[in-house]
Structure 1
Amino acid sequence: MRSKNTCLFIFLSIPFFIVDAYAQKSKSLMESTGLIKAIYSDVNYTVIDGVNSTEIAYEATNGKAMKIFILEVDLQQPSVSMKVSMPDGGNSWGMQQMTLQAASMDSIGHRVWAGVNADFYNMKTGIPRGVVHRNGQVIKTSYDKGDRGFFGITKDKKVVVGTNEEYVGLSANLQMPEAVGAGAMLLRNGVILDQADKSIHPRTCVGTSADSTKVFFLLVDGRDVPYSNGMTLEELAVCLKALGADTGINLDGGGSTTYFVRRFPELRDDRFDIRNRPSDHTGERAVANGIVVISDL
């Protein structure tokens, strides 16, 4: 086994550090969720200080193959922050692949290191279903009716997750330079919430630690049974809690589920790498918005 200080390269030249043959996240998931029968691979790498990625392939207890991706962000790292992305780095509605949204925000001293898709949206117009704050500007405060919520970052780099009703009460008092709409609440104060929706799909979700300084993005590939089956919303919540999240919320999934990390430090066209396998099987889907990890390095 290699030590955690040995620099390696996986295919597509992403540097990473093996932490352990089966690192702590895999151990927590296996011991706490009851969802994993056997782990086939567990790849861990540091994207940048304060930002770590884990990719786990496993056999679920129902016999299905699974592939999940975990991005953990420590907002106590001074150089790290998160922002909402939109097409071409602007504030207009539309649809664009996440790597292109990220590239439009990427510059020296404002590096994009990783990102995921975010809110549900109208697939004809690109108008997101929930709220949008970007670069300190409040762009959209309305939201669709139903079981929906939001994910936001305050000026002091604390994460805020809640329902749309809570957004109405909080937005006037909390200065959230960045916020984006989301789906159903999955986890609140460490309690896994019941879900009426029992369907299995590719998923994107996000959770936060009890002190609101650590963020856990969890993505699950699906609709490709020999490779990965997908999860229910309750299974997402169980996994988020095992990872250390206290509160969590669902984001857009299905063919929109997208996870990328930076491949090269230079501002080259192929600097971002899609790590998951979008279920459309045609590459990245164009989406309305996303959440990206930024550093000032």
Structure 2
Amino acid sequence: MLNKLRLIPVLILFAAVSVSCEKDSVAQAPVIIESPLTKKIADSSGVVAQVFSDTLFQVTPGIMETDIHYLSTDGYAMHVFILEIDTKHPGLKLKAGTPYNASAYAMQTVPDMAKYLETGNAKVMAAVNADFFNTSTGEPRGIFVKDGKVIKTTWANARSATFMGVTKTGEIVIGNRAEFAEQQNDLREALGGGPMLVRDNQVLTQTDLTVEPRTGIGMNASGKMYFIVVDGRSFYYSNGITITRLGQMLKACGATIAINVDGGGSSTFMIKHPLADVWQVRNRPSDGTNRAVGNAWMIMAQ
């Protein structure tokens, strides 16, 4: 009887080792990388240790989505969602989304903002959340220009340091406070942002070392725009990122200038799904549901 009992743990151990080896062989199977952005980020950002999955598809002509599940170089599970937008593609334009498509301060989820912005001739194809905001009133922390009207020119704090806007001639601009002051009367749309992440193709040094869900926006000289959301606050799904690493990812994508916008539970990555006429939030907001935010950036298609 004693001999039989001694055999049991040996058999269990053998089974456990066999299962472990099978799992390791599956985990180490090569991933076929479909997206050029995934390859760029994996090769040159210093952020990715291993890619687990890579998805690439067209949202609409001129807009490509890349989704990456990866292991960070810090050893954490991560999910990132990226839109590469050809701003020179005919019929695409950038529009500031606000609650109820109004100039008054309020809060609304990004999909609900899209409902008020969309018209019969212009469809909202993609969006991300934008500026930091007062969670009681919805007032943005940075500047605010809508439909050619300059509504807010003040900045809440040092973190509110940047803006993105569309000029009255249709040019998309990203800049700092001084550049906004120079250009504000020429802008048709503008929303504030947080720290500058990339400038003149260089990743900038940051003092904020916190790890959170993040949203970033970048551009290059040829008119490619990048919307990026990195999920966080979920250990087994995605752990978040520092704004320095967010800048490294945006530079790897090709952005020569990039800014950080609101993150945390506000981070929202939405598309008009190519297989159904519905808006879909593709990431997993850390609140567990879509947060009502102060404003958003929308890509419209005609």
Shared fold per TM-score greater than 0.5: yes
Query: What is the aligned partner in structure 2 of residue 182 from structure 1?
Result: 193
3-state DSSP of counterpart to 2:252? helix
Which of 50, 65, 72 aligns to 2:77? It is: 65
> For the Cα contact (< 8 Å) 1:264–1:272, is it kept in 2?
no
Partner of 2:24: none
Q: How does 1:123-202 map to 2 (within 5 A)?
A: 123-147=135-159, 148-172=161-185, 175-202=186-213
Q: Find the counterpart in structure 1 of residue 123 from structure 2.
A: 111
AA aligned opposite 1:292? M
Aligned to 1:288: 294
What runs of 5+ residues in structure 2 fail to find an aligned partner? Answer: 1-31
Q: CA RMSD in A?
A: 1.5
Deviates more, 1:163-172 or 1:45-54: 163-172
Q: Distance in 1 between matches of 2:64 and 2:171?
A: 18
Query: Following the alignment from structure 1 to structure 2, what is the Cα–Cα distance between the partners of residues 154 and 264?
Result: 29
Secondary structure of the residue aligned to 1:103 is: helix
The Cα shift of 1:264 comes to 6.5
**Aligned counterpart, 1:239:** 249
Q: Give the secondary-structure state (helix, strand or coil) at the position aligned to 2:300.
A: strand
Percent identical: 37
**Corresponding position of 1:3:** none
Question: Which residues of structure 1 form unaligned runs of 5+?
Answer: 1-19
Aligned-partner Cα distance in 2 for 1:71–1:136: 27
Per-residue CA shift, 1:184-236, capped at 9, x if unaligned? 0001001111001000000001011024x221111100011110011101101
TM-score, scaled to structure 1: 0.87
Runs of 4+ in structure 1 deviating by more than 6 angstroms, as ranges, are none
CA change 1:191–1:86 in 2 (3 A) is: same
Q: Counterparts of 1:263-278 in structure 2 under 5 Å?
A: 263=273, 271-278=278-285
Cα distance, 1:67 vs structure 2: 0.3
Length-normalised TM-score, structure 2: 0.86
Pair 1:252 & 2:265 matched: no
Given the alignment, which residue of 49, 53, 56 partners 2:68?
56
Question: Whose helix proportion is higher, 1 or 2?
Answer: 2
1:116-149 CA-partner distances (Å, limit 9, x unpaired):
0000000001100111112222222222231411
3-state SS of 2:251 partner: helix
Alpha-carbon deviation of 1:23? 2.1
Partner amino acid, structure 2, of 1:285: R
- 1:211-222 → structure 2 map (5 Å cutoff): 211=222, 213-222=223-232
> Which amino acid is 1:278 matched to?
P
User: Which secondary structure state, in structure 2, belongs to the residue aligned with residue 171 of structure 1?
Assistant: helix
Q: Does 1:33 align with 2:78?
A: no
